[in-house]
Amino acid sequence: MTSKLAEMEVECIAVTPDAEKLIELAGRTAYKSFDKITDESAGEFIRRIVKNGHESVLEHAVASFRISGISRACSHQLVRHRLASYTQSSQRFVDETGATYVVPPSIQNNEKVLKLYWNHLHNVEAMYDLLKQEGIPNEDARFVLPNATATEIVMTANFREWRHFFLTRGDPHAQWEIRALACTIFRQFQEFAPSVVDDLCIYEHRSAGLIIDRVVEE
C-alpha cells in the first residue's frame, strides 16, 4: 500500500457552441440591433458590454468542467459559489481505498516535513482500512480521511459567473489551490471565448505566484 500524490486535472466537457456569437445574438435583443451582426462583430460587442458592466448577457453561454485531483479543502470552497451546478464524487458511497492526496507547496518544499506528511497519510489509510474491516460503512469510515484527500467534481456555470470566479479566486488572497484551478480554467476560456476574458490577464504576483487581475490600460 502506497499513498499516492494527486494531480489537478481540468477538462472542459461542455461549452455552448459558438458561444460568442450566441452572446451577441441574445444581447442584441435588448435594442433589436440584429442588423449590426457580421461574421466578425461578436468580439467587439462582447468587449463593450463587459466594459459597460452589462454582464447579464454573458449568462446565456455556459461551460462545464470535470475537475479532479483537488483536495476536499478546495472543493469545500468551490461549492460555495451558489450560481453554479455541481456533481461531486461522494465519500458516503465510494470506497476511498486507493485515494490520492494533495500536498501543499509549503510541505512539498520542506523535505523533513514532507516525509512526516506522507508517513501520516499512510497511517490514515491504514486506519481507514481497519475501520472498513470492522464493518464501519463508507460514510462513517471517511471521518478519518483528511482535507488532503483528492476529490472529483463536475462544475457547470455561465460565463458571467466564471468571470466572477476568476476575479475572486484568482485574487492574491485566495487559497493557492483554488487560485491554480482558476488560472487553469481561465486559460481554457482564453481559447474558446477570448473576448469574454479579454480585459483579464494572468500576472506573476510578487509573493502569491500566478494571479488573475484586470488588464491595466495604458
Return the active site residues. 169
User: Considering only residues 140-159, where is the footprint of a copy of itself by CB under 8 A?
Assistant: 140, 142-148, 152-154, 156, 158
User: Considering only residues 166-195, where is the footprint of a copy of itself by CB under 8 A?
Assistant: 175
Cell, residue 62: 455556459
Q: Does 35 bind a copy of itself (CB under 8 A)?
A: no
What is d(CA 104, CA 114) in angstroms, rounded to the nearest whole number? Answer: 10
Q: Judge contact between 185 and 11, C-beta under 8 A.
A: no
Q: Judge contact between 71 and 146, C-beta under 8 A.
A: no
Q: Does 113 bind a copy of itself (CB under 8 A)?
A: yes
Total residues in contact with a copy of itself, by rule CB under 8 A: 74
Q: Does 10 bind a copy of itself (CB under 8 A)?
A: no
Q: Judge contact between 147 and 168, C-beta under 8 A.
A: no
Q: How many CB atoms lie within 10 A of CB 165?
A: 22
Q: Candidates 2-10, 83-91, 194-202, 203-211 — which segment interacts with a copy of itself by CB under 8 A?
A: 83-91
User: Considering only residues 59-78, where is the footprint of a copy of itself by CB under 8 A?
Assistant: 59-62, 64, 66, 71-73, 75-76
**Residue 149 DSSP label:** B
Site for a copy of itself (CB under 8 A): which residue of 4, 5, 83, 122? 83
